[in-house]
Amino acid sequence: MRNDFKIKLINCKEDDLIHIGFDKAYVKKGINKHKFRTIKIYDLNCAQANILKQTALSTGTDCAVHKQVITGKVELSDCILSGTISQLEKICEKLKYQPLKLSSLASQISDTLFYKPETLMIRDIVLDWKTPYIMGILNLTPDSFSDGGKYNTTEKAINHYKKMIEDGADMIDIGGESTRPFSQKITVEEEICRVIPVIEKIRQTDKKTLISIDTRNAKTAQEALKAGADIINDISALDWDKEMLNVIVNNKCPVILNHSSASPDIMQKNTDYTDVVDDIYNYLDEKIDRLTKAGISKNSIIIDPGIGFGKTTEQNFEILKRIQEFKTLGCAILIGHSRKNFIKETINTESKEKLDITTAIISEKLAANGVNILRVHNVVNHDVVKRINNLFI
C-alpha cells in the first residue's frame, strides 16, 4: 500500500530552500534554522549551568548538565548544548545580558558556530582552506618506517620531489630524522647534512613550491628556513627543543604543532589517556595559547593530533572519528596517517598498494570532515581524493 506522503531525510543546503520556492532574499538567514550543532562546554559552576539550561529551554532546545546541578551538590559540570544555528544564536544573544561571565561564553559559542581557519599567506601563495591541500612526504632517512633508504641521496630526493609535484602535491614535507615508533635520535649535524642540500637544490629552480621542514631541532629548523623552507613541522610541538619557539618568533614562520605522548623511542609505551581526544585537544590548546602570547598569529599555527605518536590503534581511530572537535581550536588541521601501523594492523597487510588504498579511503572521510592538509606518501591517489571531494563542496 502506498504511503499518503512522500518524505526523505536531507542535509539541507541553500539550494534546497530555493528549490521549494523559499524567499531568496531570506535564504542566507533561513538556512541557519536547518543546520544543527552540538557544543560541549567544560567546567561551568552550578549557577552558570542552570542559567545556560534555562536559556536553552526558552529557545526550544535543551542543554544536558550533571544531574546534581539543580541541587548544587556538585561544584562543576560539563554541559552539552544542542540546537539549530538559529537557536544557538538566540541563546548567545540572551546570554549577553547574564552575569557570571556568561556574556564571554556567548562570544565563544558564537565564534565556534562559524569556525573557519583564517587565510594564510606564505610568500605570494594563499592558503584559503576551502579545499584540502596535499602535503607530499620526502624522507631523506635510511630508516623511516615506509620508505627509509629510498631517497637518501640528493639525486633520488630531487627526482621524487619532482614526481610528487607532477602528481599534484601542493607542498613538500622534508625530514632527515626518522621519528617512527622506537626510533633513536640522530645528531643535529647529521640531520642538517641530510636536508639542507636537498632544500637548496629545490630552491635553485623552484621558488614557488611550499616546503616544510620536519624536525624537532631548532638549529635544523633555522638552517632549513635560511635554505628556503617555509614552514616548521615540529613533531614534539616545541617540547623537545626549548629554542624552537625563538626560531618561530624570529622568523615569523608558520608552524605545525604535532601531538606526541613522548619522544619516539618511548612514545608507544605512553598511551594512557583519560579521554584521548580531550587530552590532545587541551594539550594543543595550551600550545596555541603559548604561541599567540609570544606574538605568533593564530592563522600561522597548524595543528596535528599526531596519529601514531603514542596512540593505540583504537585511539588513532577515535581521533579520526572525532576530528571535527579540533576545529574549535580555530587553526588549520593536518593529519598524517599515511601507511601507518594502525592501518597495517587493521587490514593485516604489508602491501603498500593496499595501504595506499586504505589511506586514501580514510583521507576521503577526513576531507569531508574539514581536514585542511593531508600528509601522504602516495600523492597521485590523493589528487584524485581532492578532486572528488571538491565536487561535494
Active site (catalytic) residues: 340, 375
Lowest-confidence segment of 49-58, 67-76, 136-145 by average pLDDT: 136-145
Query: For the purposes of burial, counting CB atoms within 10 Å of the CB of 311, is it exposed (0-12), middle (13-18) or buried (19 or more)?
Result: buried
Pick the most confident of 7-16, 158-167, 179-188: 158-167
Q: What is the pLDDT of residue 6?
A: 84
Q: What is the pLDDT of residue 106?
A: 96
Provide the pLDDT confidence category of residue 144 given band limits of 50, 70 and 90.
Answer: low
Residue 170 reports pLDDT greater than 60: yes
Query: Average model confidence (pLDDT) for the chain?
Result: 94
The whole-number average pLDDT for the span 108-126 is: 92
Structural domains for the chain: 29-114 (3.30.1370), 120-391 (3.20.20.20)
Q: What is the pLDDT of residue 274?
A: 96
The whole-number average pLDDT for the span 115-124 is: 93
Give the angle 92-32-110 at the CA atoms, nearest 5°: 30
Q: What is the pLDDT of residue 219?
A: 98
Q: Taking the CA of residue 117 as centre, how many other CA atoms within 13 Å lie in the half-sphere pointing to its CB?
A: 29
Q: What is the pLDDT of residue 146?
A: 57
Residue 127 reports pLDDT greater than 60: yes
Provide the pLDDT confidence category of residue 390 given band limits of 50, 70 and 90.
Answer: confident
Residue 211 reports pLDDT greater than 60: yes
- H helices of 41-134, in order, are 46-58, 85-95, 102-113
Q: What is the pLDDT of residue 180?
A: 86
Distance from CA of residue 279 to its chain's centroid? 15
Q: What is the pLDDT of residue 216?
A: 98
What are the DSSP calls for 359-383, one per residue? HHHHHHHHHHTT--EEEES-HHHHH
Residue 233 reports pLDDT greater than 80: yes
Q: How many CB atoms lie within 10 A of CB 24?
A: 11
Residue 268: helix, strand or coil by DSSP? helix
The whole-number average pLDDT for the span 152-156 is: 89
Q: What is the pLDDT of residue 59?
A: 97
Residue 147 reports pLDDT greater than 80: no
Residue 89 reports pLDDT greater than 70: yes
Provide the pLDDT confidence category of residue 215 given band limits of 50, 70 and 90.
Answer: very high
> DSSP label at 41?
E
Q: What percentage of the chain exceeds 90 in pLDDT?
A: 89
Q: What is the pLDDT of residue 145?
A: 55
The whole-number average pLDDT for the span 203-224 is: 97
CA–CA gap between residue 4 and residue 151 (Å, rounded): 66
Q: What Å distances lie between residue 44 and 72, 85, 161, 174, 286, CA to CA?
A: 12, 22, 50, 44, 19
The whole-number average pLDDT for the span 189-197 is: 97
Residue with cell 584540502: 132
Provide the pLDDT confidence category of residue 171 given band limits of 50, 70 and 90.
Answer: very high
Residues whose CB falls within 8 Å of the CB of residue 89, separated by 6 or more in sequence, listed in order: 32, 110, 113
Q: What is the pLDDT of residue 141?
A: 87
Residues whose CB falls within 8 Å of the CB of residue 360, separated by 6 or more in sequence, listed in order: 378, 381, 382, 384, 385
The whole-number average pLDDT for the span 322-329 is: 94
Positive or negative CA dihedral for 235, 239, 241, 244?
Answer: positive
Provide the pLDDT confidence category of residue 7 given band limits of 50, 70 and 90.
Answer: confident
The whole-number average pLDDT for the span 366-374 is: 95
pTM of the predicted model, to two decimals? 0.90
Q: What is the pLDDT of residue 302?
A: 98
Q: What percentage of the chain exceeds 70 in pLDDT?
A: 98
Residues whose CB falls within 8 Å of the CB of residue 284, separated by 6 or more in sequence, listed in order: 237, 257, 259, 303, 305, 326, 329
CA–CA gap between residue 168 and residue 170 (Å, rounded): 6
Lowest-confidence segment of 4-13, 152-161, 162-171 by average pLDDT: 4-13
